[in-house]
Amino acid sequence: MTDMVSERARRIAILLMDCDGVLTEGFICLLPDGTEFKAFNSQDGHGLKLAKRAGLRTGVITGRRSTALEQRARETGIEFLCQAAGDKARHLAELMTAHRLSPEAIAFIGDDLPDVPVMERVGLAVAVANAVPEVKQAAHYITSRPGGRGAVREVIELILKAQEKWNPEFLFLA
């Protein structure tokens, strides 16, 4: 982690992310009846719980609507959930206004082109390892882990360690 990334991470109060390709590997699985299901990484889920315990707020801005994501958000303590967001930057602006957040206090993790406008407006822009080149170019930090395989946990640890809030005792709490 560079000094610039560490400095940006110290100012983060809320971690926002995309869903498909970030919280999941990006597969969209549809059953014949139209039911959608998603596979989430357990380390990311535990990381989201650790973030909440440490006072780091979390949220998702995603272009799709998913009941599986709604359930995962409840399970992991994701506070902000914006689904069917055609214009993610507009939803970011609304969130910033409603909660009086400065861009410097926000991190965003993305993987594909719709995420770039949000990444250009936040204090810490993160691309997952398997993001498209344009997303990587917009990022301050690129994870070593791909989306859906622990990238969110990696970013949570990065932020909490930069803020000196990483507490190994969290690892033993259910």
| pLDDT tens string 105-158 | 999 999 999 999 999 999 999 999 999 999 999 999 999 999 999 999 999 999
Taking 90 as the threshold, does the pLDDT of residue 172 lie above it?
no
Is the separation of the CB atoms in 18 and 109 below 8 Å? yes
Confidence of residue 174 (pLDDT cuts 50, 70, 90): low
- CATH architecture assigned to 3-172: 3-Layer(aba) Sandwich (3.40)
Instruction: State the average pLDDT over residues 34-60.
Output: 93
pTM of the model: 0.93
Give me the count of residues in the chain: 174
